[in-house]
Amino acid sequence: MHFSTEEFDTELIRLARAAGDQAYDPAAGLIAQEAKYNPIHTRIWTGVRHPHRESVVYALVLLESGAAADVPLAEEILLRVLAEQDVDDASPTYGIWSYFHEEPLEQMVPPDWNWADFIGRELAFVLFRHEARLSDAIRTAVRAGLGHAARSIVRRNVAMSYTNIAAKGTFVTLAAGQLLKDAELTEYAVRRVGRLREQIEAAGSFAEYNSAGYWTITMEAIAAIVQYVDEPEAVAGARWIVERLWDHLAGRWHSRTGQLSGPMARVYTDEPARTPDLLALLAKATGFRGSFADLPELTPTLGLAGPALVDVEAPAAVAERLLDTPTGVVRERFSYLDGEVPVVGTTWHGTDATLGSVSVGEYWLQRRPLMGYWREPDDPTWGPSRFVKLHLMKDDHDFSSAVFASVQSGSQVLWSVSFVSPGGDEHIGLHQIEAGQAFPVSSLRLVLEIAGADGATVSEVGPQLRVSTPGVDLVGSVDSISFGDHRPTVRVERADDRILLVVELLEGPTSLTMQDIAPVELTGTFSLFEGADRPDVAAPSITVYDGDVQAHWVTADGTQLRLVAPARVTTKTGHPQVVRTSIDGRA
């Protein structure tokens, strides 16, 4: 890849345009896409649907392409989408859109207030970059739509710990204040930059930690403030946040695997760093050097428009970490639970492997409390998917009433899993299982999943599973299992390149009430070794006493890890209060 930044941005717009042209439905005047399962907000899971957000992005991309002949179509799409915004300021959904043209706001479960932030951002870019090219009627409509979105964002006034929406909404309100010459909006938005900075400073890092997708969204929003906004106080605060974002990403990027490593708070895939928009941002920010000079072929997608619209440049020290990650351990306090219990992430960077865990965290389809990656000796720079994760599944989806606790030294982790009530089901907040509520369940299982281990040697010694490849040994065990009166079973499954250590907690379909299960815990260890030294792994000492599990483990290098965690169903706030960890006696 031998691009200048300008040439690369042009290429990104070309790819985004190609994706939009292919997906555009002339009959509907909007982007069309095949429906996918989404457990929140929408119930359109089959057939073809027409999304409002992607349609606005396509209109913006048409304007970015620069041809006068594209402007009328862009304007038609903008009008069509703007007509679907709730503009009644007395409405609870004021200023937002539904996801899809086929599903009005009142049919969503529930509506997604983030759509004021997401679509508002695209409207702001339309005005910042193309207002002079729009006809008077369209210009007026887009300005009105941006104003409604911004006032919806102000009304909602989301917590600054909701990192990506806090950042995106701050850009939208700053943009609206500036473009619409609205002093009240501007004053609010400038204060909001300060609030976001204060939240990050107080917590220590980002509550939506180590999220490749939301890091990209947040960086694009904050970089856009620096680039497009005229308020000096807001720009100064945004520059500070940009620096923190680079530090956060660089600490967990692993250059040899080309993956964002460590525990993850908000992800939608097991390889979040391989998304085209993140790779595009990093290529620009590093000056197209090292591995970023030879990216995997970028798939045409509308999301590539975002990186093309913002200027990004990683500080020199950050760029060097992205290009050549040093080995060692990174610990970072991401945030606090309920203002008291720190959420600490630990990530070990080896030469060709990396492993991370979080001190306390829920399970959920967007969480990865224990996550690792490795590469084999002959793998190319952007090689095949090779990863390990530990997750708790109910009826084949991640179960967000399950909670994780751990302590990590180097590439070895001592961990324990229990449950909370009330707690989430498929979604951590929207699908609640209330305290004392019985719920049907077909299967409940803990799964240690190893992917990319085709050709590996697998051995089992007691509860310990060892998977050996030319590059690494992955050693996992579940040394203590308690699930009330049930009799859990353990098995190893192998399919294609996947090796699974499965703890089946139930004998078959049943109805559960979480509070009736005692004791309840799963406790074990995980180790990842690379190179020629693949040591034996000792079993931990584990005691379940008075509602808690107490585990002590001497790692392969002699480090003593201790973990205390609940062996009973607790509340969300109660679980982390019990957790205690130490490394060689140090808390």
Report residue 170's pLDDT band, with 50, 70 and 90 as the boundaries: very high
CB 510 within 8 A of CB 441: yes
Q: What is the pLDDT of residue 1?
A: 59
- Reported as a single tens digit per residue, the pLDDT across 35-86 is 888 778 888 888 999 999 999 999 999 999 999 999 999 999 999 999 999 9
Average pLDDT, the chain: 95
pTM for the model stands at: 0.94
Q: How far apart are CA 577 and CA 223, in angstroms?
A: 37
H-helix or E-strand spanning residue 354: strand 353-358
Of 448 and 430, which is predicted with more confidence? 448
Return the SS3 of 328. Answer: strand
Q: Within 286-411, where are the H helices?
A: 305-308, 316-323
Report residue 465's pLDDT band, with 50, 70 and 90 as the boundaries: very high
Q: What is the mean pLDDT of residues 484-512?
A: 94
Query: DSSP secondary structure string, 18-29?
Result: HHHHHHEETTTT
CB 12 within 8 A of CB 302: no
Q: What is the mean pLDDT of residues 427-445?
A: 92
Q: What is the pLDDT of residue 273?
A: 86
Q: How far apart are CA 258 and CA 324, in angstroms?
A: 10
Tokens linked to 93: 């959904």
Q: What is the pLDDT of residue 389?
A: 97
- Please state, for a pLDDT cut of 70, what percent of the chain lies above it: 99
Q: What is the pLDDT of residue 43?
A: 86
Report whether pLDDT(496) > 80.
yes
- Reported as a single tens digit per residue, the pLDDT across 514-550 is 999 999 999 999 999 998 889 999 999 999 999 999 9
Q: What is the mean pLDDT of residues 342-354?
A: 96
Locate tokens 């209060």: which residue?
Answer: 577
Tokens linked to 116: 């004021």
List all residues 6 or more positions away from 326 whose beta carbon is below 8 Å from its beta carbon. 349
Q: What is the mean pLDDT of residues 262-270?
A: 91
CB 430 within 8 A of CB 40: yes
Q: How far apart are CA 281 and CA 279, in angstroms?
A: 5
Q: How far apart are CA 328 and CA 555, in angstroms?
A: 17
Q: How far apart are CA 215 and CA 246, in angstroms?
A: 9
R_g of the chain, CA atoms, integer Å: 25
Q: How far apart are CA 519 and CA 65, in angstroms?
A: 62
List all residues 6 or more positions away from 356 whose beta carbon is below 8 Å from its beta carbon. 210, 252, 261, 262, 263, 345, 346, 347, 348, 370, 371, 372, 408
Task: Give the closest residue to 346 by CA, choosing from 581, 174, 520, 509.
Answer: 581
The conformation of residue 538, written as its DSSP 8-state character, comes to P
Q: How far apart are CA 584 and CA 587, in angstroms?
A: 9
- Reported as a single tens digit per residue, the pLDDT across 103-125 is 999 999 899 999 999 999 999 99
Report whether pLDDT(315) > 80.
yes
The per-residue b/e assignment along 167-195, b for 16 or more CB within 10 angstroms, e otherwise, is bbbbbbbbbbbbbbebeebbebbbebbee
Report whether pLDDT(285) > 80.
yes
CB 282 within 8 A of CB 313: no
Report whether pLDDT(2) > 70.
no
Tokens linked to 307: 């990186």
Residues of the chain with CATH 1.50.10.10: 5-321
Report residue 3's pLDDT band, with 50, 70 and 90 as the boundaries: confident
Task: Give the closest residue to 436 by CA, choosing from 513, 518, 520.
Answer: 513
Q: What is the mean pLDDT of residues 437-456?
A: 96
Q: What is the mean pLDDT of residues 273-296?
A: 93
Query: DSSP secondary structure string, 152-218?
Result: HHHHH---TTSHHHHHHHHHHHHHHHHHTT-HHHHHHHHHHHHHHHHHHHHHSS-SSTT-HHHHHHH
Q: CB 380: neighbour CB atoms within 10 A? A: 10
Q: What is the pLDDT of residue 340?
A: 80
Q: CB 506: neighbour CB atoms within 10 A? A: 18
Task: Give the closest residue to 345 by CA, choosing from 355, 354, 334, 361.
Answer: 334
Task: Give the closest residue to 99 by CA, choosing from 44, 29, 173, 165.
Answer: 44
For the domain covering 5-321, report its CATH number: 1.50.10.10
Report whether pLDDT(196) > 90.
yes
The per-type count for the chain, helices as H runs and strands as E runs, is 13, 30
- Reported as a single tens digit per residue, the pLDDT across 35-45 is 888 778 888 88
Q: What is the pLDDT of residue 551?
A: 98
